[in-house]
């Protein structure tokens, strides 16, 4: 039976059961066609306070449950993701514009996030400490309580579950606010997955909503930790608001990731790597290759091959055809991408291919001779655009690569592996891939950026997850009452 065959979710939010949200409803739209696929519930700020109270009650019993029970629920969730892969991929295709291979990647990685999280409940959760007094002294990790997760539209399953799964596994309750544009793939599906997996009611709640709902989640006293993935602009606001309310915020934000191409590479192979980094999922990935820094000796050849590859990529509706790129998420995003392209051309860049669109389908675009003051060079694009900027020396390259407020991902293509590692040490980035493009993710690896790209590695890997979603508590135990001087 399909997860969403029952229409109980239509027009409702998940609070342990399907109920009406205080904000009404959202239409679930297909960006490729404009068709309405269904109706999602719309939460209101008042729903957040009720969810936090409900979650706090449910969390106490969930944290006290045997660790095997929590592990079992997470394993079941991973199994269910794989068992319903075709249905989930269908929603990813129609709701977010993901092509089939990108849907495969999301389902696989989301399941792996659950499997990795299922190992967290059985991990050692503390350490014995020395004490100068006659007592037992130790530090232990305890659940934070209720965790708020705010997830974006672009990779809705992975970017929700990578926080939801470890937070649940470690004994927390979770209030998830998916982006309204992907309320089903990023929210409704997880409500159904964990319901089927046996998660007790109230431990996970799903509240699609707008920025006001997000702000309510950040300021709600009952929510102790915020895991936010989204734009740098929004992340700054979330971080500032969380700071004023003295709560931790894990921020995974935007990127302007460079792919460095040194002159010793196979140029055709390098251009293929670069094309994948810039054009997969129509560039709507925070790690997308946003700047191609190519040695001047091979820059023209690289740009020509990259443009030839881009020009042959089919663009269209991923639910009806075998295409390489689907639609952008909405007209606002399309217009922003096109504005960056046209402004950069006005500033001296040349369009080698692309730069046009039909409806929400933006042609993969290659820009040559891009100046360092061009908007397509300096800003996060979040669209299928590959700006190429030449460099002449390693000193110039290092300056160019460092000249950004972002620090998410970095790719370095070279036959000289030591040169690649040396460059990596000089360029701030949370992720570095020598001889690969910038878009890589695995459930077992720490993930996060520096600078305007976020607050560091807070997702992925057991150590990062335990630190992200628990509190440290110091405990001492004496056999007898001590004698004090008064």
- Tell me, yes or no, whether 196 and 135 share the same domain: yes
Residue 464 lies in a domain: yes
Closest among 445, 443, 446 to 165, alpha carbons compared: 443
- Tell me, yes or no, whether 249 and 262 share the same domain: no
CATH code of the domain covering residue 321:
3.40.309.10
Residue 483 lies in a domain: no
Domain containing residue 99: 7-253+457-475
* pLDDT of 387 higher than 70: yes
Residue 114 annotated as catalytic: no
* pLDDT of 458 higher than 90: no
CATH code of the domain covering residue 85:
3.40.605.10
Among residues 95, 195, 220, 252, which one is catalytic? 252
Q: What gap in Å lies between CA 407 and CA 431, rounded to an integer? A: 8
Residue 448 lies in a domain: no
Residue 143 lies in a domain: yes
Residue ranges with strand state E in 83-231: 126-129, 136-143, 146-150, 173-177, 204-206, 225-229
Residue 286 annotated as catalytic: yes
- Tell me, yes or no, whether 208 and 114 share the same domain: yes
* pLDDT of 456 higher than 90: no
Residue 449 lies in a domain: no
Tokens of 25: 């409803």
- Tell me, yes or no, whether 204 and 158 share the same domain: yes
Q: What gap in Å lies between CA 72 and CA 197, rounded to an integer? A: 8
- Tell me, yes or no, whether 17 and 132 share the same domain: yes
- Tell me, yes or no, whether 146 and 195 share the same domain: yes
Distance of CA 291 to the CA centre of its chain: 20
> What does pTM read for this prediction?
0.96
Among residues 95, 113, 114, 286, which one is catalytic? 286
Least confidently predicted of 15-19, 88-92, 205-209, 459-463: 459-463
- Tell me, yes or no, whether 313 and 207 share the same domain: no
Residue 222 lies in a domain: yes
* Share of residues in the chain with pLDDT > 90 (%): 97
Instruction: List pLDDT tens digits, range 257-275.
Output: 999 999 999 999 999 999 9
- Does residue 120 contact residue 466 with C-beta atoms inside 8 Å? yes
- Tell me, yes or no, whether 25 and 161 share the same domain: yes
Residue 179 lies in a domain: yes
* pLDDT of 457 higher than 70: no
Confidence class for position 369, pLDDT limits 50, 70, 90 = very high
Domain count, the chain: 2
For every residue of 287-332, DSSP letters joined together read: T-EEEEEEEHHHHHHHHHHHHHHHHT--BS-TTTS--SB---S-HH
Tokens of 389: 């900027």
**What does the pLDDT read at residue 1?**
78
Tokens of 241: 């608001």
Tell how strand 409-413 and strand 365-368 pair up. unpaired
Q: Which residues of 457-469 are buried (b: 16+ CB within 10 A; e: fewer)?
A: bbbbbeebbbebb
**What does the pLDDT read at residue 459?**
83
More confidently predicted of 464 and 309: 309
**What does the pLDDT read at residue 98?**
97
- Tell me, yes or no, whether 240 and 321 share the same domain: no
Q: What gap in Å lies between CA 330 and CA 161, rounded to an integer? A: 24
Tokens of 474: 């110091």
- Tell me, yes or no, whether 23 and 56 share the same domain: yes
- Tell me, yes or no, whether 217 and 350 share the same domain: no
Instruction: List pLDDT tens digits, range 286-340.
Output: 999 999 999 999 999 999 999 999 999 999 999 988 999 999 999 999 999 999 9
**Which residues, including other chains, have CB under 8 Å from residue 20's CB and lie 6 or more apart?**
11, 12, 13, 41
Residue 318 lies in a domain: yes
Confidence class for position 470, pLDDT limits 50, 70, 90 = very high
Instruction: List pLDDT tens digits, range 66-108.
Output: 999 999 999 999 999 999 999 999 999 999 999 999 999 999 9
């Amino acid at each position: 039976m399909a997860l969403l065959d029952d229409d109980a979710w239509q027009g409702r939010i998940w609070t342990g059961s399907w109920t009406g949200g205080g904000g009404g409803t959202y239409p679930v739209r297909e960006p490729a066609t404009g068709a309405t696929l269904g109706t999602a519930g719309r939460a209101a700020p008042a729903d957040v306070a009720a969810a936090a109270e409900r979650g706090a009650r449910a969390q106490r019993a969930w944290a006290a449950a045997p660790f095997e029970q929590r592990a079992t629920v997470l394993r079941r969730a991973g199994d269910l993701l794989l068992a319903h892969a075709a249905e989930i991929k269908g929603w990813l295709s129609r709701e977010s514009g993901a092509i089939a291979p990108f849907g495969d990647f999301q389902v696989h990685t989301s399941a792996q996030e659950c499997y990795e999280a299922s190992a967290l409940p059985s991990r050692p959760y503390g350490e014995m400490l020395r004490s100068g007094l006659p007592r037992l002294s130790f530090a232990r990790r305890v659940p934070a309580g209720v965790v708020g997760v705010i997830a974006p539209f672009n990779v809705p399953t992975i970017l929700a579950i990578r926080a939801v799964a470890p937070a649940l596994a470690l004994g927390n309750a979770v209030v998830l606010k998916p982006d309204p544009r992907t309320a089903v793939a990023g929210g409704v599906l997880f409500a159904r997955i964990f319901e089927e997996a046996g998660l007790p009611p109230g431990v996970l709640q799903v509240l699609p909503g707008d920025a006001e709902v997000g702000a309510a989640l950040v300021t709600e006293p009952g929510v102790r930790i915020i895991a936010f993935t989204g734009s740098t602009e929004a992340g700054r606001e979330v971080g500032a608001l969380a700071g004023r309310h003295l709560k931790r915020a894990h921020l995974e934000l935007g990127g302007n990731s460079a792919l460095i191409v040194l002159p010793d590479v196979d140029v055709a192979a390098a251009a293929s790597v670069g094309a994948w980094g810039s054009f997969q999922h129509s560039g709507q990935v925070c790690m997308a290759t946003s700047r191609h820094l190519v040695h001047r000796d091979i820059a023209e050849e690289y740009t020509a091959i990259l443009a030839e590859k881009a020009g042959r990529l089919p663009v269209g509706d991923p639910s009806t055809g075998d295409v390489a790129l689907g639609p952008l998420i909405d007209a606002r995003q399309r217009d922003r991408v096109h504005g960056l392209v046209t402004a950069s051309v006005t500033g001296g860049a040349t369009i080698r291919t692309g730069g046009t669109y039909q409806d929400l389908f933006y042609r993969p675009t290659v820009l040559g001779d891009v100046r360092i003051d061009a908007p397509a060079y300096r800003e996060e694009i979040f669209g299928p655009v590959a700006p190429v900027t030449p460099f002449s020396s390693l000193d110039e390259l290092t300056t160019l690569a460092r000249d950004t407020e972002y620090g998410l991902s970095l790719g370095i293509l070279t036959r000289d592996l030591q040169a690649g590692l040396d460059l990596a040490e000089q360029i701030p980035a949370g992720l570095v891939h020598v001889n690969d493009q910038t878009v890589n993710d695995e459930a077992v690896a720490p993930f996060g950026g520096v600078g305007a790209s976020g607050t560091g590695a807070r997702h992925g890997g057991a150590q990062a997850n335990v630190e992200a979603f628990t509190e440290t508590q110091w405990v001492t135990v004496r056999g007898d009452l001590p004698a004090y001087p008064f």
